Amino acid sequence: MFESKIRVRYEETDQMGHAYYAKYLVWFEIGRTDLMRFLGHPYSGLEEKGVLLPVLEANAKYMRGARYDELLTLGSWIREIGRASIAFGYRIKGEKGDLVCTGGTTHAFIGRDGKILRRGLEFLEKLRPHVEILE
């Protein structure tokens, strides 16, 4: 699991006084981006090589609302690798270590034309040793 720090922005709050529910998916993206960079395969580099990771599925469970200016800890890991897909898991904790949100996303591993790329598959194989079972 790789840990990122997320400071809740004022823009991310809504009038209920907590972070808006779609913002957690934006944070998940920061988590998987940080994870990929940490594993030596920054996402910006992948895209330059023509490999895209469009989202196939996303889900989140919300335990409590994140507050403005709160410093969250977001853990991200590779949950599963399929034939041409990758699944990430996420866990967000508050400043006191309490669980704020959990979630997951699944992504296709394709080229700009929507087709499976050999170099995408080779790349997926390199990530396979990093799969973690955390739930």
Which residues are part of the catalytic machinery? 14
CB burial string 43-60: b at 16+ within 10 A, e below: beebeeeebbbeeeebeb
Residue of the chain from 1, 39, 60, 127 that contacts a second copy (CB under 8 A) = 60
- Under the criterion CB under 8 A, does residue 94 sit at the interface with a second copy? no
Is 128:85 a contact under the CB 8 Å cutoff? no
Using alpha carbons only, what angle is made at residue 118 by residues 122 and 44, rounded to the nearest 5 degrees?
70
- Under the criterion CB under 8 A, does residue 50 sit at the interface with a second copy? no
Is 79:103 a contact under the CB 8 Å cutoff? no
Which segment (51-59, 78-86, 91-99, 117-125) binds a second copy by CB under 8 A? Answer: 51-59
Binding site for a second copy (CB under 8 A): 7, 9-11, 13-18, 20-23, 25-26, 29-30, 33, 42-44, 47, 52, 54-62, 65, 68-69, 105
